[in-house]
Structure 1
């Protein structure tokens, strides 16, 4: 029998230690971190086996590879947890920055200490068991990682998916793929020649198209319009939509709304252009694409535009004599809807504060769906008592994370998300039943849709699959299924066309109340994938600017015939189209001023528990371009505070994760006093999805009289004088 010391020096012990470090630990940590995905496991096996082979009989190289592998594995876990993305090579230095670690993990240091301990322990074990005289390996040993890498590449090539990058790749594999693709793009550019790119044509994407054959021979009979917007619901939940595209998704989570769909004009191929409620509302109500990336929402940019807002649907309907109303179940301050919705033309904008009926559930965002629709039904009843025609837009919140539902629904469904959807299904169906009893459907155009899609695992394009149900007094003359590709970009045009009202020239889209014989172009950006459809070919581009093309007559399809891959200049044309569409409000300017204060009284809570639901300011998901400086000015006044005053805290986040910036702490706000402060920070790299979160605790109220955010270019001479470098707490994206 071998003694322990002799066994430690055996090749078997060394191979076990190296194999555990390079292969077993990544596989276990992937499962433990919730990153389980077939491609990810293949990536770990491929890179792990390659590193193991490279370390074999090379002790010095083995130590270097172990160090690099440990830093990359831990760095990926920490950065995904901190900012929701995989690291770039330059990010790894932040693992040695205590300020970044403390802020990004909310004071907890390294977020995965078990992984760090395992890496250190295995590294020590590998060193202790190291031995130079190992038996030689077969020359075919490297075939295993080669086959795995080729298989992974083939799967990515022929079966693209929407899974997050860290679920499909480990960091070395991602860097390897990016290097190969960059070399390929440079080679393609060289072969194409150094020909300047001309701006792509986006006329078909921005065109107002009323050339189709009208479904109605005259203006619609309805005198009012009601738009019901359901939080996060994908088109796959509507049975008729699933049947129309032969979807493989079979779960029937909204049977009652599906029965209402059978009575309506339903559009199965209905495209959502992006994520986030404010982006969906802007596209719906302003006939324009929101940003096809993570830049500042156009609804926020609209606050700086004194003319474009007049083309939005609420403003157009108001100019035609309609009273215009917006009612949502959550508070209005988040995403600045308290300012954006009135700016779009809503004369009355109400949130959680309007509801006097008692909710059935305690929900951090606001009213649960049953209580919300009961209140909305009363709101409609009040509108019907006035002589003036009206436009009302509703927005639910109950199917937003964290999902909540009564116990009877939680017992009926496998999870909280499904239970919340079932609860919404009953609530909206009861609401529609109530509208019918009131006679609303006889004189009102009712459109039921969603702001965005929370997506579905293993359902192709679920993150971009929306729905649109139309109930109109002329229902018998409308088709049950509306053929063709439509999206939120078309809703404003459709409503104005239904009432035979003039449509402004800079509104884009087609009318749902017309039949078209020609194809159209449409775009979408969800789950990090930029997608374009021209009526015959569907193109989907990933983070590497590598695009896959499919033959597909529609945008939303359960499957499509793969045509091949496109990269280089052809692929960049897709992103260039998106960039041009993104500039419809700002015109590419970056020196913009945002004012998020509305000077309204804000009642404080004794305890602020959630950075999102309890946020007192609507400055979310902004973009600060590279090479700019952002200056923030704040003034907060105390109103009727008790002697303990108010405790305020201001945080900043990127991609919903805390970011460490040198922000002055807010002092205790005393009764009858005010707090004023200003600070600035540089943006050496573009910041996207950047949010301010102001929370407060106390008894009484405050008034925010100033919260301005100004981002302007840093003068070149100042950059040269100061030798501006990226601060440690500012992470590039």
Structure 2
């Protein structure tokens, strides 16, 4: 066992022994309720420990309390939480814990002495053993230690002082470089494909050049990249899809610190002008296609505000070879999406289509029994499956003549890293490593190794199409221009709670979200393969990174009292009996200030021959259920009106309002939404109560 692992064992031991001591105290009550509480405490700890283990194995970082709200979202739970990697292990742990509490005898004095000695040794050993910046934080401390050491960034982060023109350069469009490509004539179509969580390391040639080994690969995509334009070092500015997509589509930095996403804020406020809206104003038909449900993360509303004319999500895909709550597998996704793309191509107007896959997201969706060469685990097999699906899609586009007048851009929404190394700095920076492949109607072959970012995507597409006025409304530089000098580029990692700056001098500055701990790393063969040992960052570097991080948070802080947010973008939805339980809205993750009264209202009518729908509506705050109406049955010709207020005396960063529907009678039902709204106003008292104003089923008026 290495020293770094010993420190982690001592951390886990100190927390585990503390919980065991609490269990012992509850047993000393000699009452049935004391033993029952001991059982609850121990099994809760077992479940939390197992959840941390699962989270680390997928996301390579400790679980942050800021993400607890995801546990209240049906799409997240059905898509990831219920697809455990080690189900037998948790079963054994729960049974062993239950049997242990049931059979446990009252702890004696000798037991308490041994417990105190063990706890003291663990706490002392953990305190005196220094942290190593070489290895991952999750190997050296328990999640509870990590949460206790990180105050919310908003509590500490203030203006870091002026750093002059450097900050101004970060947030403006830079078209000063010498153009080496474009502008293209005849207004070509544009297809933007985002492969869920793909890292630059999935392209074997890039991994080899960076002297890194990847746990997953896409060899067909790598071969394609060698025949077109390849941007090998592109920064993915944040983890999580909604943050990554916002930066790509809107040409603006996402928030670099853990906070409510800008995509969410755009829904209830004035929206930033994004690339789809700019292209729509230039005569393009705009379509957004994703495999996952559109209601999750408010995509149904954000994408409309961003400028997409048509939205296609999980419910649109009738065929699948494999399916989870996250959506259809990648092969089925591309096979059906191509038909819509060809229809768009056959029109007289140009189109902009954005496609987002989901098969390479945990639990990694592909048909059971599918065996692919080079797939060592589920994640690796999912990427090989996606590689074949994407390759077939591009070949079909060529066969059907779409590529003759279409630009295709392939990148990722975020990066999962996917490098095989125990060095924490390498793993962290790899989780910001993406790429971009650009296929032109008249193919050009070139590899560009200069550092760019996802934030440059919108500006680059507008620049390629000759829309310089539109390009100037975005942040960044054009991929298709050469610049005299490099620039600083910024990223964040909400899972690892880190903020990063790549400097023009080939350095990476890495800070925690409090900016108390900042290290400077030199680079080796790649901008994402730093040297193992970091040195303390210079004060000016820390100030610049802190100031940029602060300014990326300068969007709206929360809903104003006058704001009313639509919870559904649809006027109606068709729910087939075969759909099962379907999520209609959820995943908002809104910030609610203390002293707020929430008002939620739904007015829904049901139509359909002999149809009956079972509706489920609930509200969660910080992962805790505050309101629920379960199994509310509404028949054909009936109308359900529900309106209530929730008093929120303490602040919350995780408000989720959900509505599910299941057709329980008849083949299908149509739900018509007369209203579905959320509003906030000040005035909550200390009593966190719920007031139901209307809960009525009546005959619908026609």
TM-score by length of 2: 0.76
Query: Is the counterpart of residue 387 in structure 1 residue 357 in structure 2?
Result: no
Q: 1:514-593 to 2 correspondence within 5 Å?
A: 514-516=481-483, 517-533=485-501, 534-536=503-505, 537-542=507-512, 545-552=515-522, 556-560=527-531, 562-565=533-536, 574=545, 577-584=548-555, 586=556, 590-591=560-561, 592-593=563-564
CA contact (8 A) 1:463 1:527 kept: no
- Aligned partner of 2:287 in structure 1 is 325
CA contact (8 A) 1:295 1:622 kept: no
CA spacing shift, 1:324–1:47, aligned 2, 3 Å: closer
Write the distance in 2 (CA, Å) between the matches of 1:46 and 1:352. Answer: 45
CA spacing shift, 1:121–1:44, aligned 2, 3 Å: farther
CA contact (8 A) 1:245 1:558 kept: yes
Q: 1:650-661 to 2 correspondence within 5 Å?
A: 650-653=617-620, 658-661=623-626
Among candidates 322, 334, 356, match of residue 296 of structure 2: 334
Q: Deviations over 1:119-143 (max 9, x none)?
A: 68667244475689x9xx9xxx988
- Aligned partner of 1:161 in structure 2 is 136
Write the distance in 2 (CA, Å) between the matches of 1:566 and 1:71. Answer: 45
Q: 1:470-509 to 2 correspondence within 5 Å?
A: 470-473=438-441, 475-476=443-444, 479-480=446-447, 482-501=448-467, 502-503=469-470, 505-509=472-476
Q: CA deviation at 1:540?
A: 2.6
- Aligned partner of 2:601 in structure 1 is 633
CA spacing shift, 1:384–1:162, aligned 2, 3 Å: farther
Instruction: In structure 2, list runs of 5 or more residues that go unmatched.
Output: 30-34, 56-61, 69-80, 83-92, 422-426, 691-702
- Aligned partner of 1:624 in structure 2 is 592
Instruction: In structure 1, list runs of 5 or more residues that go unmatched.
Output: 1-26, 28-35, 92-103, 106-110, 190-194, 729-733
Q: CA deviation at 1:259?
A: 0.8
**Which moves more between the two structures, 498-507 or 119-128?**
119-128
CA contact (8 A) 2:191 2:406 kept: yes
- Aligned partner of 1:229 in structure 2 is 194
- Aligned partner of 1:9 in structure 2 is none
- Aligned partner of 2:384 in structure 1 is 422
CA spacing shift, 1:422–1:538, aligned 2, 3 Å: same
Q: 1:110-259 to 2 correspondence within 5 Å?
A: 112=94, 114-115=96-97, 118=100, 124-127=106-109, 146-151=124-129, 153-155=130-132, 158-159=133-134, 161=136, 163=138, 168-170=140-142, 173-174=145-146, 198=161, 202-216=167-181, 218-219=183-184, 223-247=188-212, 249-251=213-215, 253-259=217-223
Write the distance in 2 (CA, Å) between the matches of 1:507 and 1:349. Answer: 23
Judging by fraction of residues, say which structure has more strand. 2
Q: CA deviation at 1:505?
A: 4.2
TM-score by length of 1: 0.73
Query: Is the counterpart of residue 646 in structure 1 residue 619 in structure 2?
Result: no
CA contact (8 A) 1:549 1:562 kept: no
CA contact (8 A) 1:360 1:371 kept: yes
Aligned-residue CA RMSD (Å): 4.7
CA spacing shift, 1:442–1:74, aligned 2, 3 Å: same
- Aligned partner of 2:680 in structure 1 is 711
CA contact (8 A) 2:604 2:672 kept: yes
Q: CA deviation at 1:685?
A: 4.0
Write the distance in 2 (CA, Å) between the matches of 1:507 and 1:252. Answer: 33
Q: Which has the larger radius of gyration?
A: 1
CA spacing shift, 1:558–1:638, aligned 2, 3 Å: same
CA spacing shift, 1:79–1:317, aligned 2, 3 Å: same
**Which moves more between the two structures, 701-710 or 546-555?**
546-555
